[in-house]
Structures are given as C-alpha cells and as structure tokens.
Amino acid sequence: MKKYILLFAASLMATFTYAQSNKEEVDLVQAAFGMDKKAAVAEFVKPSPAQKDAFWKIYDEYETQRKDLGKQRIALLEQYANQYKTLTSEQADAWTKKVIDLQKKTDNLIATYYGKVKGVSDGIVATQFYQIENYILAAIRAQILDAIPFVEKH
C-alpha cells in the first residue's frame, strides 16, 4: 500500500512541477488523480456495507473541498517557481504565510471530515480515513519539499 501511495505522490508531484495556470487543465489533472486517489482510499478504508454509501457521500464532499485547496497549492507552487530566484524579503514572507495558512486549512479540513466520517460510520473507519489522508498528504508534502529549491538571499 505504501508503495502505491508513494507512486501516486510522485505522479502528483510531476503534475505540480509541470502545472499550467490554465484552469481547465488543472481541473482535468485533479479529476484524473482524484480517481486514482479514491481507489487508494477504497483499498485502505473499509466501511461496512451499511456504512459504505454514507461514507462515500461524505468522502466526495471532502474531495471537492480538498481539490479547491489543491488548486491553491498549485497556484502557490507556480508563484514560487516563477519568483524564487528574485524573491524579496517581503515577497518571501507573504508567500510563506500563505503556505502556512493553506497547510492549516488542509489539516483542519481533514480533522473536520474525520468527525463527519465518524458520524456516519465508526471510530475505526474514521481513523482509517484520517490515517490515509495524512499519509498521502505527508508524502505529497515531502515530494514538494524535495523538488523545490530553497530560496536564497540575494
């Protein structure tokens, strides 16, 4: 399972690296990876037959909101890629504050949906959801940090 997730994360990182600001292209890429991600989640999260429909309804709501945050992440990465060699102190500070805010929003989204998943299933399914989402997120964050150059003082 971890190998599958790491391959998914690497593929997603390639998407970040070559993302264009074209909204339709971002939507298509996220839709394509959303399907792969959903398959990975289905492999790990095991709601009972009675919980299954409610879980996937909540999960689809979560994915819609997560994808919106993903688009913001792509925009921040594009901004960084275009400016990292010439960033002023003020620009670096503003960019970093946006990244921190986005990470908080993403972490809060997972925590919020942990509660929603638990409400339609049980603690095991909710914990499985929480674990897989955080695992994928950590793998993606690690790939991003590994791929982007550090900002240098000019």
Q: Report if residue 110 sits inside a domain.
A: yes
**Do 149 and 79 meet the contact criterion of CB atoms below 8 Å apart?**
no
Q: Report if residue 14 sits inside a domain.
A: yes
Residue 95 has pLDDT above 50, yes or no: yes
Q: Report if residue 95 sits inside a domain.
A: yes
Q: Report if residue 6 sits inside a domain.
A: yes
Q: Which tokens hold the place of 38?
A: 């959903």
Q: How many domains does the chain have?
A: 1
Dihedral angle over CA of 39, 44, 50, 54, nearest 10: -60
22-40 confidence digits (pLDDT tens) = 454 455 445 545 557 888 8
pTM for the predicted model, two decimal places = 0.78
CA atoms within 13 A on the CB side of 70: 23
The per-residue pLDDT for 1 is: 55
CA distances (Å), 52 to each of 9, 56, 58, in order?
Answer: 26, 6, 10
Q: Categorize the per-residue pLDDT at 59 as very low, low, confident or very high, splitting at 50, 70 and 90.
A: very high
99-123 confidence digits (pLDDT tens) = 999 999 999 999 999 999 999 999 9
Helix, strand or coil, per DSSP, at residue 51: helix
Q: Report if residue 96 sits inside a domain.
A: yes
Q: Report if residue 38 sits inside a domain.
A: yes
134-147 confidence digits (pLDDT tens) = 988 888 888 888 88
The per-residue pLDDT for 27 is: 54
Greater model confidence, 154 or 88: 88
Residue 5 has pLDDT above 80, yes or no: no
Q: Report if residue 100 sits inside a domain.
A: yes
Helix (H) or strand (E) holding 7: helix 2-17
The per-residue pLDDT for 51 is: 98
CB neighbours (10 Å) of residue 62?
20
- Domain holding 82, by residue range, is 2-147
Q: Report if residue 101 sits inside a domain.
A: yes
Q: Categorize the per-residue pLDDT at 154 as very low, low, confident or very high, splitting at 50, 70 and 90.
A: confident
